[in-house]
Homo-oligomer: A and B are copies of this chain.
């Protein structure tokens, strides 16, 4: 075959017919395998370059800086002043008033002792205040993770039969979640959370909220027995097969408090000044409900109450962790799944508020902080915590300035644990149900779903898949469906890349998609195609077929008009970011089959990776470098000037081999 001509290009630099010719596309200098590998590794795992600040710093200071990386307290504590503390104090007390009833409610949702909800609002916030980098995140338990714990652990060990083992498994799951999160952060794998798309989260959260609300029918209707399944069908069956067990006292109380809570939420939406109305409402409900029960002795008339809560701070639970079969497996599985869900919510919340206040959150660092907070929690009788949206929003609205508001909340909860637990003895469960329902209704973001429908139909499908999966299947099924659709979408994008025909925009050397720009005009005898994705094994044979179909269609169109056929096919590779060995083989094949038809394949604007691989795979021996151009305009100019060449036009008509002349 003909050897590669690197230097003596056939078309010189300069200007021909108003088109700038800039010479040929260079093959980038080859880098060593190790250098490439290192660069790729860095781009994959350290895209935010967290070690940049460590450059040119002596060893001892480097250690201090590393410490500061994991414990960013010194960044803000030295300059911490009186007025900042006043803001944090107000915010901290506000979130504590929300944290206490919510904590108790969610612990009930997880079928755990209610006091665990308070324990979980004491230790983890302190750990986060030291290690976290968000100024607005308020730490606490979340409804979805609580529900997941109840459904996943409850399947293995029913909490009514063996409450101690169930409790120990919950601690173990929290421990595994913490270890998993810490490892993800240390291994710089925090980005796997990004694979839960916004659409997935909208659908998943709405589904989980629906399921959680359905579960509250137990408390609202005062039912004693209830299904352990979470899907709509089972719950409805459970509710409507025991209509004779419904307690109207419970239902009236529940609906009244729900109405009160929704009313306060409506009021607080009037303006940011009124945020405290809805922030204080849960605690107000608890106080009102408790007083009502205390004075009317409604606990004897079918209204269930929390009952005795032990006084005192978190007891240690390190020795309760379960590390042996047969139950360790379920704790591990629960831990990993809840860890991912909790992480997704916490990081999304942290990032949103950081954006509002224009500071930066390091996802991997946050992941480590969450992990450490859960490990510490699992040692001190807490269960899974993260940064819930509702509590963080209240924190932000209450004017928090630093993570100190978490410390204030922790202190307030500690005081409650030490002195005030007896006050919750008469708190009716139905009020807790109302608090959960009110919080959950805010998570059903139908507006976001409508927006998805308008902007992106596939995202809407992902969202609905997650929602319906959670509501009619289970939380895990919904998650699997949503992630599967999301990944399938990415794969399908690569498997079926868009190819478009380009045309010349009149009076310019610009070539653009003919279906987007109506004024674009085709060039006679030249078919210009653009491939909009990397060329990979997954799409190589599709592209081969699609390109040949474009050629057939174009030929047909030209024949019907009585014009000359295609002599050149220009492939615009500008959007081909990457190519693999199957892709290179495909290019070689289409070049060969075009050669047989007397059509010349021309490549325009290949990226450096494409050029490198064309060179290494010796494809440049068949697709010769003088047919590779920097721009489509240059390629077209070259085709036009070459068409006048007698040999090439012969080639197109009589299939003579012209190699010797070229």
Q: Which of A28-60 contact B (CB under 8 A)?
A: 28, 33, 36-37, 43-44, 47-49
The answer, among B455, B513, B581, B631, for a CB contact under 8 Å with A459, is B581
Check A455/B22 contact, CB under 8 A, given A198-B582, A495-B191, A608-B516.
Answer: no
Q: Which residues of B have CB within 8 Å of A48?
A: 545-546, 549
Contact A617 B541 (CB under 8 A): no
The answer, among B22, B515, B516, B578, for a CB contact under 8 Å with A493, is B578
Asked if A456 is an interface residue, CB under 8 A from chain B, the answer is yes
Assembly CA distance A75 to B22 (angstroms): 51
Q: Which of A517-542 contact B (CB under 8 A)?
A: 517, 532-534, 536-542
* CB-based nearest B residue for A40: B496
Q: Which residues of B have CB within 8 Å of A161?
A: none
Asked if A589 is an interface residue, CB under 8 A from chain B, the answer is yes
What's the least CB distance linking A36 to chain B, in Å? 8
Contact B491 A490 (CB under 8 A): yes
Asked if A596 is an interface residue, CB under 8 A from chain B, the answer is yes
The answer, among B513, B516, B577, for a CB contact under 8 Å with A533, is B577
Q: Which residues of B have CB within 8 Å of A649?
A: none
Q: Which residues of B have CB within 8 Å of A26?
A: 516-517
Contact A33 B198 (CB under 8 A): no
* CB-based nearest B residue for A505: B22
Assembly CA distance A530 to B521 (angstroms): 26
Q: Which residues of B have CB within 8 Å of A512?
A: 630
Contact A194 B538 (CB under 8 A): yes
Contact B516 A197 (CB under 8 A): no
What's the least CB distance linking A348 to chain B, in Å? 9
Asked if A355 is an interface residue, CB under 8 A from chain B, the answer is yes
Copies of this chain: 2
Asked if A301 is an interface residue, CB under 8 A from chain B, the answer is no
Asked if A454 is an interface residue, CB under 8 A from chain B, the answer is yes
What's the least CB distance linking A596 to chain B, in Å? 5
Contact B20 A580 (CB under 8 A): no
Check A616/B533 contact, CB under 8 A, given A355-B592, A578-B493.
Answer: no
The answer, among B494, B541, B611, for a CB contact under 8 Å with A494, is B494
- The proximity string for A residues 1-32 relative to B, scoring 1 for CB distances below 8 Å and 0 otherwise, is 00000000000000000001010001010000
Q: Which of A277-320 contact B (CB under 8 A)?
A: none
Asked if A351 is an interface residue, CB under 8 A from chain B, the answer is yes
Assembly CA distance A489 to B491 (angstroms): 10
- The proximity string for A residues 480-507 relative to B, scoring 1 for CB distances below 8 Å and 0 otherwise, is 0000001101111111111000000101
Contact A20 B456 (CB under 8 A): no
Q: Which residues of B have CB within 8 Å of A581?
A: 198-199, 451-452, 455-456, 459
Check A47/B542 contact, CB under 8 A, given A459-B580, A575-B574, A580-B458.
Answer: yes
Asked if A613 is an interface residue, CB under 8 A from chain B, the answer is yes
Give the number of chain A interface residues (Cβ < 8 Å).
91
The answer, among B545, B585, B589, for a CB contact under 8 Å with A47, is B545
Contact A194 B542 (CB under 8 A): yes
Assembly CA distance A284 to B375 (angstroms): 72
Contact B47 A496 (CB under 8 A): yes
Q: Which of A150-169 contact B (CB under 8 A)?
A: none
Asked if A83 is an interface residue, CB under 8 A from chain B, the answer is no
Asked if A598 is an interface residue, CB under 8 A from chain B, the answer is no
The answer, among B195, B363, B490, B631, for a CB contact under 8 Å with A510, is B631
* CB-based nearest B residue for A196: B537
Assembly CA distance A584 to B616 (angstroms): 38
The answer, among B43, B456, B574, for a CB contact under 8 Å with A580, is B456
The answer, among B355, B491, B596, for a CB contact under 8 Å with A487, is B491
* CB-based nearest B residue for A351: B541
Asked if A224 is an interface residue, CB under 8 A from chain B, the answer is no
Check A451/B617 contact, CB under 8 A, given A199-B537, A582-B198.
Answer: yes
Query: Which of A455, A546, A549 has the most chain B CB within a 10 Å cutoff?
Result: A455
Contact B537 A198 (CB under 8 A): yes
The answer, among B194, B456, B498, B538, for a CB contact under 8 Å with A197, is B538
The answer, among B494, B513, B536, B541, for a CB contact under 8 Å with A608, is B513
Assembly CA distance A578 to B489 (angstroms): 11
Contact A194 B539 (CB under 8 A): yes
Asked if A358 is an interface residue, CB under 8 A from chain B, the answer is yes
The answer, among B44, B492, B494, for a CB contact under 8 Å with A496, is B44
Contact B577 A497 (CB under 8 A): yes
Asked if A508 is an interface residue, CB under 8 A from chain B, the answer is yes
The answer, among B538, B576, B584, for a CB contact under 8 Å with A455, is B584
Q: Which residues of B have CB within 8 Å of A533?
A: 534, 577
Contact A510 B545 (CB under 8 A): no
- The proximity string for A residues 183-207 relative to B, scoring 1 for CB distances below 8 Å and 0 otherwise, is 0000000010011111110000000
What's the least CB distance linking A334 to chain B, in Å? 25
What's the least CB distance linking A26 to chain B, in Å? 7
Q: Which residues of B have CB within 8 Å of A37?
A: 457
Q: Which of A536-576 contact B (CB under 8 A)?
A: 536-542, 545-546, 548-549, 574-576
* CB-based nearest B residue for A517: B26
13 contacts between A and B (CB under 8 A): A47-B542, A48-B549, A198-B585, A358-B596, A454-B616, A455-B613, A455-B616, A459-B581, A489-B580, A490-B538, A493-B578, A510-B630, A512-B630
Interface residues, chain A, with chain B CB atoms under 8 Å away: 20, 22, 26, 28, 33, 36-37, 43-44, 47-49, 191, 194-200, 351, 355, 358, 360, 363, 451-452, 454-459, 486-487, 489-498, 505, 507-510, 512-513, 515-517, 532-534, 536-542, 545-546, 548-549, 574-578, 580-582, 584-585, 589, 592-593, 596, 607-608, 611, 613, 616-617, 630-631
**Which 7 residue pairs spanning A and B have beta carbons closest together?**
A197-B537, A532-B577, A575-B575, A516-B608, A455-B617, A20-B508, A198-B582
